[in-house]
Structure 1
Amino acid sequence: MSKVTTIIDIGSNSMRMVVLQKSSRFAFNLINETKSRVKISEGCYENNGNLQEIPMQRAYESMKSFLNISESLKSRKVICVATSALRDAPNSKVFLSRIKKDFGLSIKIIDGEKEAYYGGVAALNLLHNDSFVTVDIGGGSTEFCFVKDNTIIKSISLNIGTVRIKELFFNKNDIEGAKKYILDNLKKIFEQNIEIPDVIVGIGGSIRSVSKLIMQRNEYPLDILHGYKYKVSKEEDFLLQIINAEDNNELKALGIKKDRFDTIKEGTFILKTILDELHISEVITSGAGVREGVYLSDLLRTSNCKFPSNFNVSVRSLLDRFEIDPKQSAYMGNNASKIFDVLKPVHNLEDKYKTYLVIASKLYSIGSALNFYKSNDNAFDFILNGLSYDFLHTTRVIIAHTIKFSKKSLPSKKDIQEYEELLPSLDVMRWLSFMISLNITTNQDLSKPKIEYILDEENNTLKLELENKTFLINSNIEKLELPKEFNLEIL
């Protein structure tokens, strides 16, 4: 696979492009993301499915801009897929031929099941969840991919999209007809005789727009959409407010942006109907979708379209690009594990916190790579956004705070107040901060020393036997702030 790859997805509403750069065998990072709301399917459902000239011209001009960006970023591979609008249109060859002739680009029209599968591959690899159904509401169709125990079970595509529903029903004020049409289509899911999970992973512009509004209304502390989750029962009234809005002024009052006025009611109506009919209790929002699924299917084609076990693409990508010394990172991770294990009888933390401590210890030096001064603060801000994939919001906030309060005083109640709803108790955060501080301090001279940790439970004391005692290390260990009722002793 090329080091820099461009993926373009031509949907009924929007054309989207991502440019991704490999940093090692399975790791990559996003270097460009561009969207153009060309609405290529505009008017087609009222004209026997045929693409109209003006929307095709918008898509043509956007493609030219996309390819200019791709070329400037030295992308050596371009994969372009098209979904519902082009696969349904009798005259799609007109557009496909023009793109091929003028730009030398072959557009691959994928069927609905393949589109759903790509969404499933993206969610399976880039979100932290074992069983769910992806729901990708597009302009012409909605795709469902059922995942159980980290395995894709079934992919389904139904002809219920925002533009289709708008032109066939909403423009005629036939809301009951729209609901019946959606419910009739949803029967095809129940005919599959598969277990339907109560969690959906929302893909596509309509669901992401709704999730963004819910985040803002709830004053959610983290401004990151990928991985954001909410309970359906708490947001049903808001969904109905969008659906029942009588004009654009009411939509604007709800926080909806102008470029979503044309399809947000239809998209929310489809979403609400699906949530009700499938008895969904929770929605997880995915920032990744078909484009990332296409990329991962290529990248992971020799491994059943899954990352290796215990592999995290975000951690690996950050280390590939910013770690100062791979041997130091590995040492810090191993030493963090030792410290956590020996102190387990005292801190009594769940094992998941061991994983967080190890990741934080490996990544803490990233701040110095960005800028040596205030390195912990640099790392905090960067990691909140840099752990892009396969992390719960709570996880990335815990890791970022653990790094922020290393090599300094342990956090106070005030220090964690801003992100309190995403963090564990103050005691847990103080233990994590202490353990990473101890880890960093014992390797202050970067000598990767052999250390024996001995826990004296009776006296609540951790004893350290260092391979090489130096004044620098000893003096800094003595400065460490300790969790309450706990002692540290250098043998």
Structure 2
Amino acid sequence: MAKKTAIIDLGSNGIRMAIYEKTSRYGFYILNEQKVKFRLAQGAYEQDNVLVEKQIKKAYEIIKYFKTQALNFKCNKIFCIGTSALRDAKNKSDLINLLKKDLKLNIKTLSGMEEAYLSGFGAINLLPKLDDKSICLDIGGGSAELCLCENTKVVKTFSLDLGTVRLKDLFKDKFNKLEKYIDNYLEQIPDDFKASILITIGGSLRAISNAIMEKNNYPLSQVHAFSYQVDEESEFIEKIINCKNSELSSLGIKKERHDTIKMGALVFYKIIKKLKIKQIITSGAGVREGIFLKDLFKHHKGFPANFNPSLKSLEDRLIKYKSGSLVSNVTRLFNTLNEIHYVDKKYLKHLTYAAKLIETGLLLSYYSNHKHSAYCVLSGLNFCIKHEDKALIATIIEQHGKKINYENLKLKKLLPDENTISWLNFILAFCNSLNKAKENEICDFSYKNKTLYITKNTNNFIMQEAIKKISKPKSFNVYINNEEI
């Protein structure tokens, strides 16, 4: 079982390497990621798809560097893949043989269907679970891949030669001819590719999502799992397509994307309209994650039920002392106070996540550890979870039992109502204080006549003082072992 795996991806617009480290059977995180902007097929689309020798040599040197880096990180496995630019090249064997002979690397050339499948597989397994059908769209430099998904399964795939670099080389800025060319290709999409949700993959589509986040002053910076409604952002996407290149920066598009982003936006926009898409979900995961997960799941069907790989990875790496009693106690107290808190039961999951991760920040420092823990949640709880969910988990950890100043909460745009946050914050801090002595004890709770009764083996002074500092959302008395606090 490989603990560290490197995936080297030779694309049409760059060469990337991602290194994944497993922390347990299914827990993992991205240890390192590097990219060199490099166009293997530069000029080749105009020259009958023949790679020039200069580009082959440069690709070899970049991949050689990445292999050295992978070995420095002590990777047990190294996968090397090539996508559209390599599969289209008539002389691809020149590079393949060079890598095999000199670097002992076997580069696998993915077909369009394989690329579509792996991109979709990586995205659909690492995004929050969807109960309905969705379509994944991966626009790369050489091609655009589509796959139809149901839950975490890829049902059907389709590949189109509509990559941004390809279109840039073939059409320059001749948009009239380009639009007709794209329209003709889109007619080939099978009729059964129908869904209201489009999952977007690839650098161009992430750049568009990042620009939308910037425009809307979105409170989080992570693009993975960011979602938006098509009818709210169609006009902005059209602006990107129709503006001058010199205006792209003002729309939030980074300079490195200026030469191809309009091509990608045009393909994206036309696919949205053709497929009648209503919602966009952005994926930071794609073909590289698809390859990693395929290797991870080779003896299994996928993640166990209700399993989150990022949650497990954070627990494995950052939690020194695991308290099962805290998770049990927050659940018990939530249910006990149900008659007075009026918080939807769906938020119990957020409370248990927070209980599991509340001490991740202790590894950095005891002082302000709740703030460090909140940062760990926002930065490390990346896969299989919505932005709104991790924002709430981080917030109730960071508030640390203080009185909620709802209007000044940093992530307010993503949070539920004040009552929900106040009660979750209280229950988490209260149960964490009960756990001060680290005796890992499960408590008995009951509530009657405006009084919370708690039965536990210990009732020390430090715990009592901590409880007194916690802000209650509603006035009631607290007794521990028949002693009023």
Q: TM-score, normalised by structure 1?
A: 0.94
Which residue is 2:141 aligned to? 139
SS in 1 for 2:472: coil
Which residue is 1:422 aligned to? 414
Which residue is 2:259 aligned to? 262
Take 1:214 and 1:157, find their aligned partners in 2: how far apart are those partners? 27
Q: TM-score, normalised by structure 2?
A: 0.95
Tell me which of 399, 405, 412 is aligned to 1:405. 399
Which residue is 1:102 aligned to? 102
Take 2:359 and 2:247, find their aligned partners in 1: how far apart are those partners? 49
Q: Which letter does structure 1 place at the counterpart of 2:110?
A: I
**For residues 14-413 of structure 1, what are the structure 2 equivalents within 5 Å?**
14-130=14-130, 131-171=133-173, 173=174, 175-191=175-191, 193-194=192-193, 196-246=194-244, 248-304=245-301, 306-326=302-322, 328=323, 330-406=324-400, 408-413=401-406
8 Å Cα contact 2:121-2:153 kept in structure 1: no
Which deviates further from its counterpart, 46-55 or 392-401? Answer: 46-55
1:307 Cα shift? 0.8
SS in 2 for 1:189: coil
Aligned length: 479
8 Å Cα contact 1:80-1:107 kept in structure 2: yes
1:349 Cα shift? 1.8
1:302 Cα shift? 1.6
Which deviates further from its counterpart, 106-115 or 145-154? Answer: 145-154
Q: Give per-residue Cα distances to partners, 1:307-330, cap 9 Å, x unaligned.
A: 11111001100000011123x1x2
Take 2:468 and 2:251, find their aligned partners in 1: how far apart are those partners? 55
Change (3 A) 1:238 1:479: closer
Take 2:396 and 2:49, find their aligned partners in 1: how far apart are those partners? 55
Take 2:189 and 2:478, find their aligned partners in 1: how far apart are those partners? 60
SS in 1 for 2:46: coil
Take 2:209 and 2:463, find their aligned partners in 1: how far apart are those partners? 48
SS in 1 for 2:471: coil
Take 1:214 and 1:66, find their aligned partners in 2: how far apart are those partners? 32
Q: Give per-residue Cα distances to partners, 1:253-300, cap 9 Å, x unaligned.
A: 323222112211111111111111111111111111110110000001
Take 2:240 and 2:32, find their aligned partners in 1: how far apart are those partners? 32
Moved over 3 A (4+): none
Take 1:393 and 1:99, find their aligned partners in 2: how far apart are those partners? 41
Take 1:12 and 1:78, find their aligned partners in 2: how far apart are those partners? 20
Q: Which letter does structure 2 place at the counterpart of 1:319?
A: E
Which deviates further from its counterpart, 288-297 or 42-51? Answer: 42-51
Which residue is 2:428 aligned to? 436
SS in 2 for 1:292: helix
Q: Which letter does structure 2 place at the counterpart of 1:350?
A: D
Instruction: Say whether 1:452 aligns with 2:444.
Output: yes
Q: Which letter does structure 2 place at the counterpart of 1:360?
A: A
1:169 Cα shift? 2.6
Q: Give per-residue Cα distances to partners, 1:186-218, cap 9 Å, x unaligned.
A: 233234x35x11111111011011111111111
Take 1:486 and 1:235, find their aligned partners in 2: how far apart are those partners? 47
1:115 Cα shift? 0.9
Q: Give per-residue Cα distances to partners, 1:204-241, cap 9 Å, x unaligned.
A: 01101111111111111111111111111122222122
1:379 Cα shift? 1.0
SS in 1 for 2:45: coil
SS in 1 for 2:187: helix
Q: Give per-residue Cα distances to partners, 1:32-89, cap 9 Å, x unaligned.
A: 1011111112111111111223332332221122112111111121001111111111
SS in 2 for 1:160: coil
SS in 2 for 1:45: helix
Q: Which letter does structure 1 place at the counterpart of 2:459?
A: K
Instruction: Say whether 1:471 aligns with 2:461.
Output: yes
SS in 2 for 1:410: coil
1:415 Cα shift? 4.1
Take 1:312 and 1:351, find their aligned partners in 2: how far apart are those partners? 20
8 Å Cα contact 2:445-2:452 kept in structure 1: yes
Gapped runs of 5+ residues in structure 1?
A: none
1:5 Cα shift? 0.7
Take 1:54 and 1:254, find their aligned partners in 2: how far apart are those partners? 35
Which deviates further from its counterpart, 129-138 or 466-475? Answer: 466-475
8 Å Cα contact 1:449-1:468 kept in structure 2: no
Take 1:119 and 1:314, find their aligned partners in 2: how far apart are those partners? 19
8 Å Cα contact 2:388-2:415 kept in structure 1: yes
Take 2:75 and 2:135, find their aligned partners in 1: how far apart are those partners? 33
8 Å Cα contact 2:121-2:152 kept in structure 1: no
8 Å Cα contact 1:450-1:467 kept in structure 2: no
Gapped runs of 5+ residues in structure 2?
A: none
1:404 Cα shift? 0.8
Q: Which letter does structure 2 place at the counterpart of 1:251?
A: L
Q: Which letter does structure 2 place at the counterpart of 1:413?
A: Y
SS in 2 for 1:6: strand
Take 2:328 and 2:154, find their aligned partners in 1: how far apart are those partners? 34
1:414 Cα shift? 4.2
Change (3 A) 1:99 1:206: same
Query: CA-atom RMSD, angstroms?
Result: 1.6
Take 1:115 and 1:197, find their aligned partners in 2: how far apart are those partners? 21
8 Å Cα contact 2:45-2:166 kept in structure 1: yes
Q: Which letter does structure 1 place at the counterpart of 2:108?
A: K
SS in 2 for 1:188: coil
1:386 Cα shift? 0.9
